[in-house]
Amino acid sequence: MASLMNKVMQFANSPKGKQVIRQATEKAQQLASDPKNRAKIDDVRRRLQGGRGGSGTGPGTTR
């Protein structure tokens, strides 16, 4: 597994790897700047950070 990680690190540090990372970062920033996508991102983040508990309106609640 270390060999795979070394190959990934070598690629990430190569000029082509840096270019790929830069392009992916720019694309992610473009998508995140769209209000519709931003709302989806915020919704997923809220769900992941909320964990258990929350507002009590989910399928596992007993009221």
Task: Tally the domains of the chain.
Answer: 1
Q: What is the DSSP letter of 61?
A: -
Looking up tokens 């990372």 gives 21
Asked if residues 17 and 11 have their Cβ atoms less than 8 Å apart, the reply is yes
Has residue 46 been placed in a domain? Answer: no
Has residue 1 been placed in a domain? Answer: no
* Coil, strand or helix at 32: helix
What digits encode the pLDDT tens for the residues 31-45? 889 999 999 989 999
Has residue 53 been placed in a domain? Answer: no
Has residue 29 been placed in a domain? Answer: yes
What pLDDT was estimated at residue 17?
96
Has residue 4 been placed in a domain? Answer: no
| Domain range for 21 | 10-34
What pLDDT was estimated at residue 50?
85
Has residue 30 been placed in a domain? Answer: yes
Between 32 and 61, where is the model more confident? 32
**Does residue 8 have a pLDDT over 80?**
yes
Asked if residues 12 and 21 have their Cβ atoms less than 8 Å apart, the reply is yes
- Give the pTM: 0.55
**Does residue 16 have a pLDDT over 70?**
yes
